[in-house]
Amino acid sequence: MASIRPSGSKWRVQVYVAGVRDSQIFATRKEAATWGLEREAELRGAKLPDKTFGDAMKRYQHDEAPKRGGAHWEAIRLKAFRETPIANRRLASLDGNDFADWRDRRLAQVKPGTVAREMNLLRAVLEVARRDWRWIRANPMKDVRWPTTPKGRARRLSLEEIEDLAIGFGVWDKLRAKTATQRVGLAFLLAIETGMRSGEILSLTSPNVHLDEQYVSLPKTKNGDARDVPLSKRAVEILRALPLRFGPIFDMDASMRDTLFRKVRDKTNHRAVHFHDSRSEAIWRLSKKLDVLQLARVVGHRDIKSLMIYYNEPASELAKQLG
């Protein structure tokens, strides 16, 4: 039996069936009671709700995406997906062929890696709709083949590239943070020292920076875990160059960081460099100082195998260690 209680000027209805709990808030008690009866029936398997794929994407964006590290990207993609024909399809009518056809159309437009990321997002929406909301009984993407994607990029930076870029950002001879361009340069240098991702760096706030103890705390990362990242003396110097302020200490969003980085990069004629290459360089450098478990913890990898994307030491260098 649904439980309905006042919630301010509205009504909260809660249902609990077979270990699954769900609740919603409505403007009127009648709406709350109607939803409660329908939701209980859904949870008991008596019927499937008349929902579209677009309904599922909208609820996922509101309820689930904020819990994840890539919430901004997911929100952008889900908004775009809701404008496509497949969003108007009833969830119960979708099958694997629909998503295989969608995959093939997308592959004609964008790279396989992009399609794979988008398919991961759509599968996550459907899985939550199946497991938590009971809107479908089976995930229609379960047996859909993912596109073959290239190996992850793992490009080291040369000392010349780092110096030229730092000069271009105005942070080579002295660490400065007066302009947004200079702060992008500091973020780039900090990434090389720590292996932190761009989003992790831009999210740093003063309470999470512990310079005396030489570490920063990341409450939320890409994989959803919190972690502490140790700081080298150089990393501490970089962070000390930033002024104290409320909110994120780098005072910019991902879009501004990307635009300014590309602008300086192109002026220095190093168009092959990506900001994320700083992570590859950092992991390489840290691998010389930390064992593999320490390294995985510092850079936030749950699967140690993921480190092999970045760590590719030549056999000639390994031979020197053998004597």
Q: Of 150, 174, 190, which residue is a domain's last? A: 150
Distances (CA, A) of 171 to 235, 257, 313: 13, 15, 30
pLDDT score recorded for residue 221 = 77
229, 267: one domain = yes
The residues annotated as belonging to the active site are 197, 222, 276, 279, 301, 310
139, 172: one domain = no
- Please give the average per-residue pLDDT across 85-95, as a whole number: 89
1, 18: one domain = yes
Quick check: 311 pLDDT over 90? no
169, 211: one domain = yes
| Residue written as token pair 């909301």 | 133
pLDDT score recorded for residue 314 = 67
Q: Give the residue with greater pLDDT, 83 vs 313.
A: 83
Q: How many domains does the chain have?
A: 3
40, 60: one domain = no
Q: What is the CATH number for 73? A: 1.10.150.130
184, 304: one domain = yes
**Containing structural domain, residue 204:** 159-322
- pTM of this prediction? 0.63
- Please give the average per-residue pLDDT across 75-94, as a whole number: 90
- Please give the average per-residue pLDDT across 14-21, as a whole number: 82
Q: Of 103, 132, 150, which residue is a domain's last? A: 150
Split at pLDDT 50, 70, 90, the class of 45 is low
Task: Decide: 211 and 231 in contact? Cβ < 8 Å.
Answer: yes
d(CA 188, CA 118): 27
User: Of the candidates 165, 163, 177, which has an alpha carbon nearest to the alpha carbon of residue 275?
Assistant: 165
**Lowest mean per-residue pLDDT among 62-71, 81-90, 124-133:** 62-71
Identity of the amino acid at 178: K
d(CA 102, CA 19): 35
Q: Please, what is the average pLDDT of the chain?
A: 88
d(CA 218, CA 187): 15
67, 140: one domain = yes
- The 10s digit of each residue's pLDDT in 192-221 is 999 999 999 999 999 999 999 999 999 877
Quick check: 153 pLDDT over 70? no
Q: Give the residue with greater pLDDT, 215 vs 313.
A: 215
Q: Of 150, 168, 198, which residue is a domain's last? A: 150
User: Of the candidates 148, 140, 55, which has an alpha carbon nearest to the alpha carbon of residue 98?
Assistant: 140
Q: What is the CATH number for 263? A: 1.10.443.10
Identity of the amino acid at 13: V
Q: Give the residue with greater pLDDT, 281 vs 31.
A: 281
306, 186: one domain = yes
Task: Decide: 55 and 125 in contact? Cβ < 8 Å.
Answer: no
73, 18: one domain = no
Task: Decide: 258 and 105 in contact? Cβ < 8 Å.
Answer: no
pLDDT score recorded for residue 104 = 94
309, 219: one domain = yes
**Lowest mean per-residue pLDDT among 24-28, 237-241, 281-285, 300-304:** 300-304
Task: Decide: 174 and 190 in contact? Cβ < 8 Å.
Answer: no
41, 57: one domain = no
Query: Could you tell me how far CA 233 lies from the centroid of its own chain?
Result: 28
- The 10s digit of each residue's pLDDT in 161-191 is 999 999 999 999 999 999 999 999 999 999 9
140, 197: one domain = no
